[in-house]
Structure 1
Amino acid sequence: MKRRTTAIAAITAVALLGAGTATTVAVADSGSSGSSGSHSSVRIKDDGVSDAQENTNEAKGAKVKAEDAIAAALKHTPGVAVGADLDSDDGRLVWEVDVIGSGNTWHDVDVDPGTGKVLGSHVEKADDDDAGDAARVASALKGASTSAEDAARAAASKGTVTSVDADDDGSVKVWEVETTSADGKQQDWHVDFQSGAVSVDHSAGDAGDDGDDD
């Protein structure tokens, strides 16, 4: 059900040092190592229901907000959060937070949406084939004054935040945020890297169409 439009296979490592900003790049593929964790405490119905109902169930099941899940992930794995998605696997809901840690390693950290506890994490392996895409994302994030947590807070008035991701199309430098309303309608927003201003993501088309979540 999650819409992941960012260059996740080419994610960037951004280290913010004091008042300055140092940017390095780490690229990841589907391989992983060092995984650990347990099941989420939140169960939802995601089988045999409409997309809108599943969206509603996920949003209602997330007692822990996106920004709090990101904060929990960063406390467990220090670094820079570059994305967070609320997703369900066999009816178990989880926040999946992407963090770039020390050594330019990309960590996938799972956070329980019911308790805020970290369930586990694993490290993705590097893939240099996507270095070009990663460099573009790195350029977009360099000097950004708005974090993933900030973006989630900024868009929270629009609905339940279910996804936050860094995005760069070569000219627009924004966080992409997805919200879900009480009736399961999804809407996409842009949060400016610098100002934190929230605007409608017109490039997403009709975000309320249940058919474009796949």
Structure 2
Amino acid sequence: HKLVAAYGATGQFYTQIKNGAPFQVFLAADDSTPAKLEQEGETVKGSRFTYAIGTLALWSAKEGYVDAQGDVLKTNQYQHLSIANPKAAPYGLAATQVLEKLQLREATKSKIVEGQNITQAYQFVSTGNAELGFVALSQIYKDGKISSGSAWIVPATLHDPIKQDAVILNKGKDSAAAKALVDYLKGPKAAAVIKSFGYEL
């Protein structure tokens, strides 16, 4: 089987699926979007499952810029804080919940630069257009450590769980490839890869 992957914001994919995009399997960054598609009859019954639980990180491309407790957020010394669009991207929503919990929503309002999705939020920081930003730990984590820059791994207690669900879509109903991919994702080999990028299972 040959896999062709498309990357983007969960909310945007929802719209594309509703408009007939030829996707067979949907790996979302949340659990509510696949559940909604399931309710709307767009998925193969009983195929939805959680493939990973995402971890949020506050990251800077600069070494030593972000401390291990994330206190850099409170210092207000930065010009730009990058987050993903909270309406379309689950990690963006989690980021706003963290700011709310830390009572920093007002203080950071004028500094926020919003990416369409978590990839763009990461790009703003990696290119230096924002000194720091909330990203998915998986973007900056490899083999059990932060691969570059400096980061605070945000405690899961500061936001709703980022449960990431996968589901077979109606267009993948009779596809052996779609079934094989889902079976693989549920297996130990995939679990090892998923964990190595900082996700929980």
- State TM-score, norm by structure 1: 0.23
Indicate the structure with greater strand content.
Answer: 1
The alignment's TM-score, normalised by the length of structure 2, stands at 0.24
Q: Using CA pairs below 8 Å that are at least 6 residues apart, which structure has the higher relative contact order?
A: 2
Q: State which structure, 1 or 2, has the greater radius of gyration over its C-alpha atoms.
A: 2
